[in-house]
Chain A
Amino acid sequence: MSIYLDHAATTPMVAAAKRALADQMDKLGNPSSLHMYGRATRKDVEESREAIARAVACRPSEVIFTGSGTEANNTALKGLHWLRANEKRNLVVISEIEHHAIFDPAQWLADYEKAEVIKLPVLASGEIDLAFLRKLVTERGNEITVISVMHSNNETGTIQPVAEIVKIASGAQIPVHCDAVQSFGKVPLSFKDLGVTALTISAHKIGGPMGIGALILQHGLEIPALIHGGGQEREIRSGTLNTPSIAAFAAAASDAASAQAERASFVSKLREQFIAGAKAAIPDLIVNGSGEQLPGIINLTFPGTESDTLLLLFDAAGVACSTGSACSAGVHEPSHVLMAMGHSQVSAQSSLRFSLSYLNSESDVAEVIALFPSVISRARAANL
């Protein structure tokens, strides 16, 4: 058996992206060069930019290519903070459930720029506590440099009320950044409609290559750069443009956009089938995250187990899933997301993330669910 249920970590490249990548590798020319070779690859970059702009409903000039979603997050959070920070305004607001690609730059701002960082708590559903944010903005809105909240959570799939957050922030003219890496291509995502100042997307979560992402940044807003040396991307990001990956990113984005609704409805059905089967097999399991959800992410807590053990047993049976949280020295730590949702350290460490895609089938789900009783009972025995 070989069933891949870790699509939120990365997913296979789509045919169009592979083709675009291979085609570009046969081409010569730095898109910043002025001669015909440069012009040819520049044309490909700009067409790719336009394709991505269409997929996320922004202006092409608002797309800044980066080396990863992580880089885009760093650029946005630090850049927006640096742009607005002064003696009176030095407060960075993120949420308790952000990915480490926001957590860590926020911590860096605290450590090296003496910023104050407040993490918005979440409700048991996994959604940001909007009441907390409202109060914070009312009381300290003029101290906040930036608010960054993810579009959907990578561990639980819970979609966040970003439009509401923007509404609260805009009253105090606070820019909002949104890490939309997990949502892009999976659910409708419109930069224009959300009204955020900045948005992060990444290629490899939607069938593009690894090592390419983009920051969508409001037209006309110039933030200090992280990386200097040529200013290729709006003076905000330097470095020779990675034309092959950019072209492949655009191909994947177009592919994802064209089939988004159809795939989302198919994957949602798989998710329902998975959760129903899992509950029938293991009646005391807990499904983490509620409210509006991404179609493909399922986060389950299996009381009396350890996720390391579960992962090994599933892996040995040919099923790839994830403990869904960061590793420190290879040792998996209890998920800060589940802890923020009210889990104890022990129950957080009894949880697994299964992430499905349109590439999975009903029989994949059935085969995996069939393994549940033996895997869970062995994991429980190993935990005594």
Chain B
Amino acid sequence: MKVIAAMSGGVDSAVAAARAVAEGHEVIGVHLALSSNPQKYRSGARGCCTVEDSHDARRAADVIGIPFYIWDMAEEFHEGVVENFISEYAAGRTPNPCLRCNEKIKFAAVLDRARAMGFDGVVTGHYARTRESSIGKTLHRAIDNSKDQSYVLSVLTVEQIQGAIFPLGDTHKVDIRKEAAERGLFVANKPDSHDICFVPSGDNAGWLRDRLGSEVGPIVDQSGKTLGEHRGAYTYTIGQRKGLGLTVPSEDGSPRFVLKIEPKSNTVVVGAREELAVNYIQGENPVWCGPAATSQETRGYVQIRAHGEALACTYSYRDNFLDVNLDAPLFGLATGQAAVIYDDDRVVGSATICLTR
């Protein structure tokens, strides 16, 4: 096949491109420039589109022996990922930008462009697997559980999965580094990137404050009694316990957690841990990675964070909403996150959490 390999400048995408070549594909390396004003250098594990990263990607492509180009996707990234990130926080929800990036950029803008140009698909260094089965090409967890990225790929449609190639899903990360060294890829020891690539300082709260302001508001208990002050409700996360700065202890002396963020009144509601218990999740705007779920109650697993646990559940889909009933309660769940449904290791689909109780 003729494929585009998305190369971030990191070790994973470099090995993925090399493996695609080894499998006989005709590969062209592309680095996505996602920031119109990139930083020159990488600082530790933060950021992923510095000038230095694009240089590393180019050098990896040289070693692999494939053509290399840089595609400017800064505008698409800003509109589809960064603005969404800000508006979701402003609305009191907790978005996952990596998932949006896969949905809007890597397997949409890039894949569409690649296909129009005559390529068959896109290779990435994600840890996930695809498999041909009786229901078509399906998306599965990687064998390295600690690196599995199927969660952030759960927004891919059947058609997008058709054009996706994940050469790393059957290998453990430690072996990828070894392989990179054996292949002469000097990025073998480059640190993994963490955090949010467009917040190079790593200070998400500060970054959001710069964009959304830091209007002071009340921190209240469930009765509405003011306990303290916050600087921007969106810098809090449901379930957060630390950093509340409350001086008044709760009646029984037990710790207090963020229960709710009310963006309109700029209020943060806190309460006891039990109040965080969630037994039911409702998701909207679902994407199915294979056959859509039906109104029939089905046993499966749900995951609500990128590297969270798979929780046993019963799910169904009716009236445009995904309903998930958990076997055991879950504590601290923010709306805006994705609920990803698994059938064993297969990704069934995902939906954005809009309601919990």
Contact = CB atoms under 8 A, between A and B. Distances in A.
Interface of A: 308-309, 311-313, 315-316, 329-332, 378-379, 381-384
A34 B114 CA distance: 63
Interface string B66-102: 0101111010000000000000000000000000000
A330 B61 CA distance: 15
A55 B8 CA distance: 48
B33 A378 contact: no
A381 to B, nearest CB: 4
Contacts of B117: 309, 312-313, 378-379, 381-382
A4 to B, nearest CB: 16
B158 interface: no
B131 interface: no
Contacts of A379: 117
A313 B70 CA distance: 14
Interface in B102-138: 112-114, 116-118
Of A331, A378, A382, the most chain B CB neighbours within 10 A belong to A331
A332 B58 CA distance: 15
A311 B72 CA distance: 14
A313 to B, nearest CB: 6
A331 B54 CA distance: 10
Nearest to A311: B69
A313 B28 CA distance: 11
B72 A331 contact: yes
B51 interface: yes
Of A316, A329, A331, A379, the most chain B CB neighbours within 10 A belong to A329
Given A330-B51, A378-B116, A379-B117, 20 more contacts: A309-B113, A309-B117, A312-B28, A312-B67, A312-B69, A315-B67, A316-B28, A316-B67, A329-B54, A330-B31, A330-B58, A331-B33, A331-B36, A331-B70, A332-B72, A378-B117, A382-B116, A382-B117, A383-B116, A384-B116
B202 interface: no
B344 to A, nearest CB: 38
A331 B74 contact: yes
Nearest to B118: A378
Contacts of B69: 308, 311-312
A183 to B, nearest CB: 31
Interface size range of chain B in the complex: 20 to 34
Of A311, A315, A316, the most chain B CB neighbours within 10 A belong to A316
B163 interface: no
A382 B67 CA distance: 19
Nearest to A333: B72
A381 B85 CA distance: 29
Contacts of B38: 329
5 contacts: A329-B33, A330-B54, A332-B72, A378-B118, A382-B116
Contacts of A383: 116
Given A309-B113, A312-B117, A384-B116, A329 B51 contact: yes
A311 B51 CA distance: 21
A298 to B, nearest CB: 22
A322 to B, nearest CB: 13
A329 B36 CA distance: 9
B60 to A, nearest CB: 14
A315 B66 CA distance: 12
Nearest to B26: A316
Contacts of A382: 112-114, 116-117
A55 to B, nearest CB: 37
A11 to B, nearest CB: 22
Contacts of B28: 312, 316
B194 to A, nearest CB: 22
A330 B117 CA distance: 21
A188 B131 CA distance: 66
A240 B36 CA distance: 41
The 6 closest A-B pairs by CB, nearest first: A382-B116, A381-B116, A330-B70, A331-B72, A382-B113, A331-B33
Nearest to B55: A330
B219 to A, nearest CB: 42
A329 B34 CA distance: 11
A382 B110 CA distance: 9
Interface in B150-198: none
A381 B116 CA distance: 5
A382 B72 CA distance: 14
A312 B30 CA distance: 10
Contact of B71 (A308, A313, A315, A316): A308
A379 B116 CA distance: 7
A313 B114 CA distance: 11
B2 to A, nearest CB: 9
Contacts of B113: 309, 382
Of B38, B51, B69, the most chain A CB neighbours within 10 A belong to B69
Contacts of A309: 113, 117
A53 to B, nearest CB: 41
A378 B2 CA distance: 15
Of B36, B70, B72, the most chain A CB neighbours within 10 A belong to B72
Given A308-B72, A378-B117, A378-B118, A330 B33 contact: yes
B107 to A, nearest CB: 15
A132 to B, nearest CB: 32
Interface string B23-48: 00000100101001010000000000
A6 to B, nearest CB: 15
Contacts of B72: 308, 331-332
A348 B67 CA distance: 25
